[in-house]
Amino acid sequence: MKQKTLFNFTYIPEKKLLKQGSESGQPVLPASDNNARKRDKIITEDKGNLQNLLSELDKLVGLAKVKELVREIMAFVEISRRRERFNLKNENLVLHMIFSGNPGTGKTTVARLLGKMLAELKVLPKGHLTEVERADLVGEFIGHTAQKCREQIRKAMGGILFIDEAYSLARGGEKDFGKEAIDTLVKAMEDHKNEIILILAGYQREMEYFLRTNPGLRSRFPIQIHFPDYSSEELLEIAQLMLDERQYSLSVGAAEYLRSYLKSRTTDKIANFSNARLVRNLIEKAIRRQAVRLVNRNIYSRNDLMVLLREDFLPPAGSGEEHYLPD
Ligand X SMILES: Nc1ncnc2c1ncn2[C@@H]1O[C@H](COP(=O)(O)OP(=O)(O)O)[C@@H](O)[C@H]1O
Q: What are the residues binding Mg ion (CB under 5 A)? A: 108
61 interacts with, out of Mg ion, ligand X, none, CB within 5 to 8 A per kind: ligand X
User: Which of 201, 208, 203, 188 lies closest to 97, judged by CA?
Assistant: 201
Near ligand X in 251-280, by CB under 6 A = 276-277, 280
287 near ligand X, rule: CB under 6 A: no
Q: What is the CA radius of gyration of the chain?
A: 25
Q: How far apart are CA 307 and CA 314, in angstroms?
A: 15
Q: What CA–CA distances, in Å, run from 146 to 129, 132, 171, 217?
A: 21, 15, 17, 19
Residue with smaller CB distance to ligand X, 135 or 252: 135
CB of 274 to ligand X, least distance (A): 7
Indicate the angle between helix axes 144-156 and 177-191, nearest 10 degrees.
40
Residues in the chain: 327
CB of 157 to ligand X, least distance (A): 22
**Do β-strands 4-6 and 9-11 pair in parallel, antiparallel, or remain unpaired?**
antiparallel
Residue with smaller CB distance to Mg ion, 108 or 130: 108
Q: Out of 57, 96, 105, 134, which residue is the one contacting ligand X (CB under 6 A)?
A: 105
* Helix, strand or coil, per DSSP, at residue 32: coil
Q: Out of 53, 57, 63, 169, which residue is the one contacting ligand X (CB under 6 A)?
A: 63
Residue with smaller CB distance to ligand X, 176 or 237: 237
Residue with smaller CB distance to ligand X, 177 or 230: 230
Segment near ligand X (CB under 6 A), from 33-41, 97-105, 150-158, 214-222?
97-105
235 near ligand X, rule: CB under 6 A: no
CB of 106 to ligand X, least distance (A): 3
159 interacts with, out of ligand X, Mg ion, none, CB within 5 to 8 A per kind: none
CB of 109 to ligand X, least distance (A): 3
Q: How far apart are CA 88 and CA 230, in angstroms?
A: 41
- Return all residues near 178 (Cβ < 8 A) that are at least 6 apart: 134, 137, 138, 168, 169, 170, 171, 172
Residue with smaller CB distance to ligand X, 197 or 309: 197
Separation of first and last alpha carbons in the chain: 63
Q: Out of 73, 103, 258, 261, which residue is the one contacting ligand X (CB under 6 A)?
A: 103
Q: How far apart are CA 237 and CA 241, in angstroms?
A: 6
239 near ligand X, rule: CB under 6 A: no
Q: Out of 61, 93, 223, 287, which residue is the one contacting ligand X (CB under 6 A)?
A: 61
Indicate the angle between helix axes 232-246 and 275-294, nearest 10 degrees.
40
**Residue ranges binding ligand X (CB under 6 A):** 60-63, 101, 103-109, 238, 241, 276-277, 280
